Chains A and B, each alone.
Chain A
C-alpha cells in the first residue's frame, strides 16, 4: 500500500468565511495526501469543515468563502492558482464529485440519460450513437438493471438508491482519477447504504480511482476506507490507517466519536456510560419483572397492561390526484391489514426501509392521513389528569428544519399549541413555555430566537418541547435523530428517555436505523412493504430474528458497523 504514488496533496490549507469584517476560519491549516487507488475517509460532525475541504479541492467554494493560505496539488499542479478554464476541464474528467442529496443534484427536468451523457459530451468527443451506448454501459456498470429504461427516466421516477447509483455512474463515466463522495449514503436506507458502499469499493478496485469519502458516520468510513482523517472545528485531530485509528484512537475527540456510536448489547462496546447503564438497568428490570411475576405490583401491573393505542386491521391508502380536471383518482394501498397495540409507558420501535410505510403509519395514527380503513383506538386516560388538556397524540418529525415554522420565534412556536388547545391565560401560557424550554435542556434565552438561529440538535429539542407542551400521553417520533450527528443523537435519545420517565410517556419510535431502535425500544415491529413481518421484544428480535427480511436488515446494519463491534 505504501508504494502508491501521491495523487493529491493538500498542504497547510486554511479557508475562511468573512463575516462582518472579521474572518472566521472554517478550515485551519490542514495537510493530507491522497495516493493513487486509495480510499480515504474524512469524518467529523457537521460544521467540522469536511465538506469545505472537499469543495476547496474541487474549486466549488461559495463566493463568500476565501482561501487564506495553502496549496492543493493535483498531479503536480496547484489547483488554487490554476486558471478557470483549465480547472473546468479537470473538473469532471479528472476529479468528480458525488453529492449527498441525489434528488436535488439532478436536474428534475432532464432525463437521467441526458444528464449522465452530458458529462461525457463535455469531456470527450464521440459519435452521437457512441455517447448513448457508453452511457448505457456506465449505467449498467453501477448495477442498474434495465439501463435502457433508466436512460429514459426522470430523476423522480427512480428510488434514492437508484439515483445515487446513477450519480456514481455520472461521476465515473469519464474515468476520473479522483472521486469526492460527500455523504453519499447518508440519505439512504441501511440495506441500500451497504450496497452503495460496496459499489464505490468495486469502482475503486476496478478502475483504480482514488476516492475521498466524507461522512459523519464512522461506520461508513470504517467499512471501506484504507485511511481516515478525523476533523473537528476545521482542524485535523487525528489521521491514520482506518484499522489502527479506530482500534486504538489516541485523540480524546476520536474516542468520544467512537463512544457515541450506538452499539447495543455488545459486550465490548465502549458506549458512553449513561447509555450503557440505562440498558443494563433496563435489562435488570426486565429480568426482574419475570422473576417477580408471582408478586406483581398491582398499580404497575395495571399501567403496564393498559393499551394506550390499539390498532386493528388497519389499511391506509394514499391517493394520487388525477392530473386532469376529470382525471380519475388512483388509490394506492400503503399499509396492509395491520394489527398491533402499544402499552402505556412503553417504547415501540417501528423499523423498515423508506417506502415501507413507516411514516404513513405515523400520519395515520395522529390523524394526518384520513384515508384509512380499520380501527385506531387511542385510550389516553385524559379524564384522570388534573390539568385536562386535550391530549391527542403528538408527533416529532424527522427534519427539525421543516417542522418548525421558519418565520416564527421559538416562543411563539411553543405557545401556539397552548393557544389552540387550552384556555390558559397569556401569563400561564408563558410560564408553561418557560418551564418546558428548560425541561428540554435549553434556556429562556432561546425563546427569542428564530429556528434558523439554532443548531440541528437545539431545533430538535424545540420540536420535542412543542409536542410535549400539551401533555400528551402518546408521542409518535418519526426518525427524530436521523438528521443529527452521532454525539447529538446520543444526547437527544437520553433526553427522550428522561422525559419518558418523568411524564410517563408512551413512544412509538420510527427509525430506519436499527442501532438507534435497539438502544431505546422495548419492543420492535419490523415493517416491510406495508406489512408487519415480525414483532418482538427488542432483544429477542436482535438475537433471534425469525423472518428473512429482519435477518437481512440486521446483516446489513452489522456489515456497516462490523468493525465497531471488534473494538
Chain B
C-alpha cells in the first residue's frame, strides 16, 4: 500500500521521507566522525577490555578497550568513502560502456556485452577475492577491484536506456542539427537516463557498503588498526556471546545505511 505525505503542497512517498530522515541521521554521525570523536578510535586501554555500554562509553568498548562509538563513527566514514569511490568508478565506466554499446550497437556491442555477461555470471564477491589475492589486500585494492566489478551492472542499465532513447525523434532532431555522436550521447541522451541512473546509484551504494563490509570481514579489505564497519564486525564475532554490543553497533549502522538508501530509491520513482 502506498502511503503519501504532503509537505508544502507537494506529495511524497512516506518511504521517501523516512529514508531521508534515516539517511541524514547516519550521514550526520559520519560527518561529525570526520572532525570529532569522543575518544581516539585507535587508543587501546587494557583496563577497559570488553566493557558493556556505560556513561563513559555509550556503546561500550572492544577487546582492546577502544571506544566503540568513536570507532563506529570513523569506521562508517571509511566504509562510505570506499563505497562512494566504488560506485563512482563503476558508474563512470559503466555509463561510458553502456552509452557506446547502446548507441552504436553492432559487433562492438556484442563483444563487450558478452564479456559483461561473463563478469556477471560469477558472483562479484568471488571475483573480488581473486583480484585481492592477486593484488594483495588493502583499501585501494578493494576500491579498484569492486569498482571494476560494478561496471557491468551500470553498463547494462545505461545500455538498455540508450537503445530505447536512440530511436526517439529528439535524437534524430539532434542529428539533423549537426550534433556529433559524443554530444548526442552525453548531452542529449544521458540526462534522459536519470530516472534509472539515480536509483541505480543509490542501490549501487548499498551494494558497495555490503561488499566492503563483506571483504573487510574476510580480512581482505581495510587493514587493522584502521576501522571500517566490516572490519569491526569481523573482529566482533569472536566476542559475540560475551560482549554482543560490539557486533551490534557496526551491524546497526550498516542496516540503517542500507535501509535509508533503499527507502529513498524505492520511494523516488513513483511520484
On A, residues with C-beta under 8 Å from B are: 20-21, 321, 325, 363, 366-368, 390, 392, 394-395, 397-399, 402-408, 416-417, 420-421, 463, 466-467, 470
Contact = CB atoms under 8 A, between A and B. Distances in A.
Given A325-B110, A408-B191, A402 B170 contact: yes
Given A321-B105, A402-B169, A407 B192 contact: yes
Given A397-B172, A405-B188, A405-B191, 13 more contacts: A20-B10, A367-B176, A397-B173, A399-B169, A403-B169, A405-B170, A405-B174, A406-B170, A408-B191, A416-B179, A420-B177, A420-B179, A466-B173
A98 B253 CA distance: 53
Contact of A368 (B172, B178, B194): B172
Listed from nearest, the 9 A-B pairs whose CB atoms lie closest are A403-B169, A407-B191, A417-B177, A397-B169, A402-B169, A405-B170, A420-B178, A20-B9, A325-B110
B170 A404 contact: yes
A361 B175 CA distance: 17
Contacts of A321: 105-106
A402 B168 contact: yes
B107 interface: yes
A399 B171 CA distance: 13
Q: What class of interface size applies to chain B in its complex with A?
A: 20 to 34
A392 B176 contact: yes
A407 B176 contact: no
Contacts of A367: 176
B30 to A, nearest CB: 32
20 contacts: A20-B10, A21-B6, A321-B105, A366-B176, A394-B176, A395-B176, A397-B169, A397-B173, A403-B170, A403-B172, A404-B170, A405-B170, A405-B188, A405-B191, A408-B191, A416-B179, A420-B177, A420-B178, A463-B173, A467-B176
Contacts of A366: 176
A65 to B, nearest CB: 14
Contacts of B192: 405-407
A466 B194 CA distance: 24
A466 B179 CA distance: 14
Nearest to A396: B173
Nearest to B107: A325
B202 to A, nearest CB: 19
B45 to A, nearest CB: 56
Contacts of B10: 20
A404 B174 CA distance: 9
B178 A390 contact: yes
Interface in B163-189: 168-170, 172-179, 183, 188
B9 to A, nearest CB: 5
B237 to A, nearest CB: 46
Contacts of B169: 397-399, 402-403
A421 B170 contact: no
Nearest to A405: B170
A432 B173 CA distance: 19
A20 B4 CA distance: 13
Contact of B173 (A325, A398, A403): A403
Contact of A395 (B107, B173, B178, B191): B173
A88 B168 CA distance: 37
B5 to A, nearest CB: 13
Contacts of B168: 402-403
